[in-house]
Amino acid sequence: MADDTDLHVGKRLRRRRRLLGMTQQELAVQVGVRFQQIQKYECGANRMTSSRLYDLSQALNVTVQYFFDGLDARDFPGKPANDAEHLVGDVLSQKETLELVRAYYRLSERPRRRLLELAKALEVDADDNMAS
């Protein structure tokens, strides 16, 4: 039976791997395991040793802490501390969000900056319209 912490770490692993557009096989090769092991890590069926967690963090270009982010904010294991935190997790796991992030980072710096400014301006306009 998967522990709540193992499930959380596995979800973070899957989210980061997908965000980078990496397959389970590609990640497995980088850390020296079979892709089935990555599958087991991602679903929380197998626990990761500290050295494996370190290897995964190096392969995914994150700190080890990344895998545990969000655990401290929980009222108790398995339940988000608030609806906003739950919503953020849902949004980040959607395919559309991943495609948008990948497309954004394929742009050069100047268009990325302009797109971000546009998104912020649209947000302000939406807030103004709701207040009216």
SS3 79: strand
Q: Which residue has the higher pLDDT, 76 or 123?
A: 123
pTM: 0.62
Q: Hey, what CATH topology would domain 4-93 get? A: 434 Repressor (Amino-terminal Domain) (1.10.260)
Tell me if residue 34 falls in helix, strand or coil. coil
Which residue spans of the chain are classified as CATH 1.10.260.40? 4-93
Residue 61 Cα distances to 2, 56, 74, angstroms: 26, 8, 25
Q: Residue 42 in contact with residue 7, Cβ under 8 Å?
A: no
Q: Give dist(CA 11, CA 41) in Å, integer.
A: 9
Q: What is the mean pLDDT of the chain?
A: 83
92 touches 34 (CB < 8 A): no
Going by the DSSP 8-state scheme, the letter that residue 76 receives in this structure is B
Task: Name the percent of the chain lying above pLDDT 90.
Answer: 48
The token duo for 96 is 């559309």
